[in-house]
Structure 1
Amino acid sequence: MDEATKLPIGPEEVAEAAQILQRYKAGKAALDKRLVDNELWFRMGHWKNYQNPMMEGKPQPSSGWLFNSIANKHADAMDNYPSPNVLPRAEDDEAAAQALSSVLPVVLEQADYEQVYSDTWWRKLKQGTGVKGVFWDPEQRGGVGEIAIRPMNLLMLYWEPGVDDIQASPHFFSLSLADTAQLESRWPQLAGHTASVLDVPHYIHDGGLDTSDKSVVVDWYYKKLSPEGRSVLHYCKFCNGVVLYASENDPELAERGFYDHGRYPFVFDALFMEEDSPAGFGYIDVMKECQTAIDKMNHAMDENVLLSSRQRYVLSDTAGVNEEELTDLSRDIIHVVGRLNDDSFRPLQTAGLQGNSLSYRNSRIEELKEISGNRDMTQGGTAGGVTAASAIAALQEAGSKLSRDMLKSAYRAFAKECCLIIELMRQFYDEERIFRITGKSGESEFVRFSGQVLRAQPARVVGGVELGSHEPVFDIVVSAEKKSTFSRLSQNETAKECYQLGFFAPANADAALAALEMMDFEGIEKVRQRVRQNGTLAQQLARMQAQMAQLTGLLEVQKKSEAPKLSGPAQELSTAAMARAMKTQKGEMR
């Protein structure tokens, strides 16, 4: 028996994993079919699903109401691009949390997260579920390694049927297509095993998809229990029954596991949840029936308009009309043999569109807008004579609650992704790295960071006994980094109103704070802090003015009594009071 067969993961284990994958694929077949159909709907190519011979050669209009709804939802998501803020759970971890709050956005930017966020949102709206993968790529940075975040194709992911959380699945598979020749050059053991033993579903393309020179590469993640009872994540990459890499075959990772966090490196973000499944359904599944009715009515109306624009005739065989001259619109004279009357020749008129037909079509369009939450007011349009800016803003704010609900689920998924990133930093950031941090005012600062600050630190020793180690744990708070234009305008209007009402006048500090206690808007804590500062400065200025008035009165009394000038302690008190007053006034001017 050779050494290869003694490894924990060999051909037999891979064959067993392939059987599990086939079982998972069978349980996901209905979802895969829905994903393929939804992609056609998004590209407005859903007429390909209706194989009706009578439709060949006839117009097949596809209106973009469904596409417009999805595009608007995606625009809302990009207007509220997330930004992480790391908070410590223990006071000792405050410095590490501040460093992470500065470094984490830079890591996301280097991973091109904005593009990943955009692609995942398109899939979330089309398919009902957006999936991101958070991996450690050892080949980046010239072999030093870096965190990679990728949008995942739900069509190529498989888990145990019936679970609602992928972390509860004993196995998880991620499939991809790769060029067979490139795979052989990287892994020579694949030579002679080029016959693909797995088939994968794929989307329908106009030009077709040739996969004859490609092989299916399987990333197989599975969990095992360590002797201590801890869940350990292992990883195996295989293709055509050949093991390309297995963490259990790696002596350094056989006991430790591939990732120390022990979780599958995938985050699911479902739009509308389904029971017993981590994947949900999206807006296309909700809108497709209404969009079908609209398109069929458009098809019927287009045919009616075409028929109404053509002049047609009912012609008897005994009419004696020259048909070639009749159909030639360039002729001014048409010859007729015999007598022509209404019984043998008459124009055929096509009835025009009825008003109730147009009203019914418009009502279906309004229905589609309602069920998708894509009303006119959310796009800036108004109806019913609404012209006031405040009324339009109120309507837009009320109509955007569906978008806010979607964003909350995306932010929850983003917090999970940030947690996975922090765990990968903890495990793989062995060497110190330098990150350029750009402040709010545009200044740049270079911060040194390594995974050592995230790892377990020995606790203090009491009476010669070590109390154990402390590993920093953090919470992620997500806020919108890029706000919509409407949000910025609304906040600017709030600031102007506060200024006009005298909130920032030092004399009105107490009344302004009382009003701010009953208000709620973004950034209100900074406004309260500013008003408190203004109130404190006003009180200090009032005290200094009272002291100045008292000193001035003393000087006037002495002048009237023709007493000698102040000297000693009185002179020092007068000089110190005037100096404090001048300093306070300068600070207020700054």
Structure 2
Amino acid sequence: MIDEKPPIGVEEVAEATAILQKYKAGKAALDKRIVDNELWFRMGHWKNYQNPMMEGKPQPASGWLFNSIANKHADAMDNYPAPNVLPRAADDAQTAQVLSSILPVVLEQADYEQVYSDTWWRKLKQGTGVKGVFWDPEARGGVGEIAIRPMNLLMLYWEPGVADIQASPHFFSLSMENTKQLENRWPQLKGHSASVLDVPRFLHDGGLDTTEKSVVVDWYYKKPDKAGHTLLHYCKFCNGVVLYASENDPALAGRGFYDHGKYPFVFDPLFMEEDSPAGFGYIDVMKECQTAIDRMNHAMDENVLLASKQRYVLSDTAGVNEEELADLSRDIVHVAGRLGDESFRPLQTAGLQGNSLSYRNSRIEELKEISGNRDMTQGGTAGGVTAASAIAALQEAGSKLSRDMLKSAYRAFARECYLIIDLMRQFYDEERVFRVIGPAGGREFVPFSGAALRARPMGLMGGVELGSREPVFDIVVSAEKKSTFSRLSQNETAKECYQLGFFAPQNADAALAALEMMDFEGIEKVRQRVRQNGTLAQKLTAAQMQITQFREKLSGAEENLSTRALAKNLSGALRQLS
């Protein structure tokens, strides 16, 4: 019996490698910019200037650019996202509530905070942050779990000219791995250790030895099935050898690798570029200004060194002992013959001019303006501003660039959550238990499986089946972690509401009227508490009125009793007198 040729073999891998080489050629300029930007971030950009005249001279690299990027990253971490799942149909409300409680747990198990931080560094440096949302079948002892990883844009390739990676017919993700470890895991690799692919690499001070490493390619591609539906397939190969292919897997050949049919990567560009899913970052915008500042620093440092060192102009006929003149520890310098101003005089270097320092400071201010990293965003003040409310207003106005960046990151986070839900729908076959925080603040254990997310029959109508419906949700993202300034602002708002009597039950109607015109985070909880206070005040007033009426009735009854007793006593006395 002759074995059938698998759908993905050596020829298909060779074709994929040719496509990858074409994609690499179209991305070469972006790869070079990414490598250069990494040097700028590490303040090692002098390596890009191959000037022999600079060898042995000061090469100062000021950290203004780094400081701007570090502040943007701090803003991002102060506004760590939290998902909230909303249903589109009333029948899915319970599932949406459960998803809202377990999604943060899934993210925590995937170490998402570290992934979020690493991706933001790359977004600010390279201009694009990329996360990969995968299913790891080997996690949890073979049970499998969702994995989220920060991706290196330098190792990702797509069709040149597309603005969305989902429109690319192929997508490649490359990685460098140890060849011996790969051979131990996939024995078919033995004898194919010669690497056939080369990848761009960052410049390292100590160098990077790649002789014992091979390039592993994760190849994703879209292919229509017999019914015309687009399926996503996946192939992992190394050095021309297929390690795994979903089309070679009987269970996935007609279904696709992921049911959602999308490349499992989410791109989050900082500043968009036309016809490219990748953008450009702050380093690309600030590098020219930073170059001017560093060149001025170099010139000023050289000037200070020259001005601090005593130099002389000597004629060949001066007869001065140069060794003794250069030795500052000697008190006497011998001279042969007569010494005059024509043959010997000191050479004085002119000091720095005030306008040079002013120009350098103006370039520093220009860099701050370009990056939106003004002093007030870091807590500094200028112009005699000392009032807390004025500083808060300036910081709020100066943070609009950060808020704009965060909105794009939140949109990317929502797309990641949709991919997570799709992976739950496909792979959560067995029921899992998640430990979540309950409404009262206590711990609860919530069971969940993918059955709650899969299509459900809609029943019969007139003897006709209505088909099935798959639950669809909306993701709303909010900031989970607030900065210290945001918490102080919230606390000040709460104290002002208390001082104005908003929480006094008798002022509920007036407080609600004022709250209708106000807008701050958490205002709905405040309105709910004020309404409760107003309801409590009404109940208290009604109870007081009932108590007053009861007392009046009771006193009237006591008066009637005393009157009857007096009349009875009088009638008895009259009888005795008669």
Q: TM-score, normalised by structure 1?
A: 0.94
1:360 aligns to 2:359 (yes or no): yes
Q: Secondary structure at the match of 2:542?
A: helix
1:3 aligns to 2:29 (yes or no): no
1:96-138 CA-to-partner distances (Å, cap 9, x unmatched) read 1111111111111010100000000000000000000000011
Deviates more, 1:67-76 or 1:317-326: 317-326
1:398 aligns to 2:397 (yes or no): yes
Structure 1 position 201, deviation (Å): 0.7
1:514-552 CA-to-partner distances (Å, cap 9, x unmatched) read 100000000000000110111111112112222222232
Q: Structure 1 residues 564, 164: CA separation in 2 closer, same or farther (over 3 Å shift)? A: farther
Structure 1 position 441, deviation (Å): 6.2
- Counterpart AA for 2:454: R
Q: Structure 1 residues 441, 485: CA separation in 2 closer, same or farther (over 3 Å shift)? A: farther
Distance 2:239 2:535 in 1: 75
Q: Secondary structure at the match of 2:318?
A: coil
Partner of 1:469: 468
Q: Structure 1 residues 345, 237: CA separation in 2 closer, same or farther (over 3 Å shift)? A: same
Structure 1 position 208, deviation (Å): 1.2
Partner of 1:43: 42
Partner of 1:267: 266
Structure 1 position 197, deviation (Å): 1.1
Distance 1:440 1:212 in 2: 56
1:507 aligns to 2:529 (yes or no): no
Deviates more, 1:307-316 or 1:537-546: 537-546
Q: Secondary structure at the match of 2:135?
A: strand
Partner of 2:340: 341
Q: Secondary structure at the match of 1:414?
A: helix
Distance 1:524 1:473 in 2: 29
Distance 2:326 2:256 in 1: 81
Partner of 1:580: none
Q: Secondary structure at the match of 2:210?
A: coil
Structure 1 position 559, deviation (Å): 3.6
1:478 aligns to 2:487 (yes or no): no
1:222 aligns to 2:221 (yes or no): yes
Distance 1:21 1:162 in 2: 15
- Counterpart AA for 2:231: V
Structure 1 position 439, deviation (Å): 4.1
Distance 2:558 2:441 in 1: 58
- Counterpart AA for 1:246: A
Partner of 2:231: 232
Distance 1:364 1:87 in 2: 49
Distance 1:195 1:12 in 2: 18
Distance 2:344 2:194 in 1: 70
Partner of 2:240: 241
Q: Secondary structure at the match of 2:480?
A: strand
Structure 1 position 84, deviation (Å): 0.6
Distance 2:563 2:517 in 1: 58
Partner of 2:21: 22
Task: Describe how 1:63-74 pairs up with structure 2 within 5 A.
Answer: 63-74=62-73
- Counterpart AA for 1:48: K
Distance 2:117 2:2 in 1: 49
Task: Describe how 1:264-343 pairs up with structure 2 within 5 A.
Answer: 264-343=263-342
- Counterpart AA for 1:499: Y
Partner of 1:571: none
Structure 1 position 178, deviation (Å): 1.1
Q: Secondary structure at the match of 2:418?
A: helix
Partner of 1:446: 445
Distance 2:392 2:50 in 1: 46
Task: Describe how 1:46-57 pairs up with structure 2 within 5 A.
Answer: 46-57=45-56
Partner of 2:544: 545
1:48-98 CA-to-partner distances (Å, cap 9, x unmatched) read 000000000111000000000000000100011111111111111111111
- Counterpart AA for 1:76: D
Partner of 1:587: none
Structure 1 position 2, deviation (Å): 5.3
- Counterpart AA for 2:250: P
Structure 1 position 562, deviation (Å): 4.1
Partner of 2:127: 128
1:320-347 CA-to-partner distances (Å, cap 9, x unmatched) read 2222221111122222222222222111
Distance 1:472 1:147 in 2: 20
- Counterpart AA for 2:71: N
Partner of 1:89: 88
Distance 1:296 1:74 in 2: 27
Distance 1:331 1:9 in 2: 83
Q: Secondary structure at the match of 1:525?
A: helix
Q: Secondary structure at the match of 2:289?
A: helix
| Paired residues of 1:224 and 1:233 also in contact (CA < 8 A) | yes
1:428-487 CA-to-partner distances (Å, cap 9, x unmatched) read 011111111134765221111111111111222234332111211111111111110010
Distance 1:555 1:105 in 2: 61
Partner of 1:433: 432
- Counterpart AA for 1:148: A
Partner of 1:568: none
Distance 2:6 2:469 in 1: 36
Partner of 1:524: 523
Partner of 1:575: none
Partner of 2:195: 196
Q: Structure 1 residues 540, 70: CA separation in 2 closer, same or farther (over 3 Å shift)? A: same
Task: Describe how 1:569-580 pairs up with structure 2 within 5 A.
Answer: none
Partner of 1:573: none
- Counterpart AA for 1:54: M
Q: Structure 1 residues 440, 81: CA separation in 2 closer, same or farther (over 3 Å shift)? A: farther
Partner of 2:492: 493
Partner of 2:388: 389
Q: Secondary structure at the match of 1:97?
A: helix
1:533 aligns to 2:532 (yes or no): yes
Structure 1 position 26, deviation (Å): 0.8
| Paired residues of 1:429 and 1:450 also in contact (CA < 8 A) | yes
Distance 1:315 1:201 in 2: 54
Distance 1:227 1:29 in 2: 37
Q: Secondary structure at the match of 1:256?
A: coil
Distance 1:551 1:148 in 2: 69
Deviates more, 1:516-525 or 1:343-352: 343-352
* RMSD after superposition: 1.4
| Paired residues of 1:558 and 1:564 also in contact (CA < 8 A) | no
Distance 1:46 1:304 in 2: 22
- Counterpart AA for 1:173: F
| Paired residues of 1:220 and 1:235 also in contact (CA < 8 A) | yes
Q: Secondary structure at the match of 1:403?
A: helix
Partner of 1:99: 98
Distance 1:440 1:486 in 2: 27
Distance 2:408 2:267 in 1: 10
- Counterpart AA for 1:46: H
Q: Secondary structure at the match of 1:173?
A: strand
Partner of 2:183: 184
Q: Structure 1 residues 490, 435: CA separation in 2 closer, same or farther (over 3 Å shift)? A: same
- Counterpart AA for 2:310: Q
Task: Describe how 1:161-180 pairs up with structure 2 within 5 A.
Answer: 161-180=160-179
- Counterpart AA for 2:403: R
Distance 2:268 2:38 in 1: 18
Partner of 1:579: none
Q: Which runs of 5+ in 1 are unaligned?
A: 566-590
| Paired residues of 1:35 and 1:127 also in contact (CA < 8 A) | yes
- Counterpart AA for 1:289: E
1:60 aligns to 2:63 (yes or no): no
1:214-260 CA-to-partner distances (Å, cap 9, x unmatched) read 11111110111122222110001111111111111111111100000
- Counterpart AA for 2:269: A
Q: Which runs of 5+ in 2 are unaligned?
A: 565-578
Q: Secondary structure at the match of 2:183?
A: helix
